Amino acid sequence: MFKTAAEAEAFCQDFVNMARPKGCEVVIFPPFTALSTVSHLMAGRGVTWGGQNFYPKESGAFTGEVSPLMLKDLGCTWALVGHSERRHVLGESDEFLAKKVTAALSAGLKANICVGETEKERELGQTSARVSSQLNSALASVPSDKVDQICISYEPVWAIGTGKNATSAQAQEVCAFIRGELTKKYGPDKASQTRILYGGSVKPDNIAEFTAQPDIDGALIGGASLVAESFHQIIVRGAKG
């Protein structure tokens, strides 16, 4: 919940002329009120955008909500599903999030599905069980021919907005586990082609150690993406050759 439309415009104007590595996909997720501004400024600039949230219906009496078709209408190609704040602050259940994945794909949006454990779950040795539960619930209705329309973001809840971050070895361990779960469900080819991102206090000075890991294909950036130069440096330093 950052940036007015005017602030988003200033960000885009700063960011759009910064050179980015070839072959690196960049997606930004503005608040709803800035989506129209971003769509006009970023169209044709090699950057795509998505919605932070939506309600899993095309339309209806759901005052205050936004449908996936409304996101499509503003040029969105992606939508976040299951971000830790939606789960733990706003109370969205695994079952509800599974409906959102289905609705996003049905509307022609790609889904960035977020999974991750709390600090207590990690301390109790429940990381794999929790991540597996979240992942398999979200993918329950995703057929093999739709796997190229998703990516998975591992974001340990204890490392978001806290200044803490998982070590690259910890992040790799969980991302490799996610890859294994995808292999069980869809086979090795689909699993290897599905992008797995790490998110959790990622900054310009630590991004390279994460993307150097074999099962980390990119990053979901939080606070460090709010300043165009910081976001640009993360992209440049984290680009995988």
pLDDT, average across residues 155-181? 90
Flag whether 73 is in a domain.
yes
Any domain includes 239: no
**Beta carbons within 8 Å of 68's beta carbon, 6+ residues apart:** 51, 54, 56, 58, 79, 103, 104, 106, 107, 109
pLDDT beyond 80 at 228: yes
Any domain includes 122? yes
Q: Is 155 a catalytic residue?
A: yes
CA 110, 126, 202, 33: dihedral to nearest 10 degrees? 40
115 falls within a domain? yes
pLDDT in tens, 114-160: 999 999 999 999 999 999 999 999 999 999 999 999 999 999 998 87
If one counts the domains in the chain, the total is 1
Q: Of 83, 85, 117, 232, which one is the catalytic site residue? A: 83
Q: Between 220 and 165, whose confidence is greater? A: 220
45-73 pLDDT, tens digit per residue, is 999 999 999 999 999 999 999 999 999 99
Q: What average pLDDT does the segment 166-177 reach?
A: 96
Quick one: pLDDT at residue 175? 98
What is the pLDDT, as a whole number, of residue 158?
A: 87
Full-model pTM: 0.96
Q: Annotated catalytic residue: which of 121, 155, 181, 232?
A: 155
88 flagged as catalytic: no
Predicted local distance difference test score (pLDDT) of residue 139 = 98
Sort 241 into a burial class: Cβ within 10 Å, 0-12 / 13-18 / 19+: exposed
How do residues 201-223 score in pLDDT, each as one tens digit?
Answer: 899 999 999 999 999 999 999 99
Confidence of residue 161 (pLDDT cuts 50, 70, 90): low
* Confidence grade of residue 164 (pLDDT, cut at 50, 70, 90): confident
Q: Is residue 178 part of a domain?
A: yes
139 domain residue, yes or no: yes
Residue range 195-201: average pLDDT? 94
Specify the pLDDT at position 241: 59
Which CATH number fits the domain that encloses residue 159? 3.20.20.70
Domain with 176, as residue range(s), is 5-12+26-202
**Residue 159, pLDDT score:** 82
- Burial (CB < 10 A; 0-12, 13-18, 19+), residue 218, is buried
Query: Is residue 71 one of the residues assigned to a domain?
Result: yes
Query: Could you tell me the sign of the dihedral formed by the alpha carbons of 54, 57, 63, 68, in that order?
Result: positive
* Average pLDDT value over all residues in the chain: 95
**Gap between the Cα atoms of 152 and 180, Å rounded:** 13
Domain-located, residue 181? yes
| pLDDT at residue number 179 | 98
d(CA 165, CA 215): 17
CB 177 within 8 A of CB 128: yes
Examine the pLDDT at 163 and tell me if it is beyond 90. Answer: no
- C-beta separation of 163 from 117 below 8 A: no
166 has pLDDT over 90: no
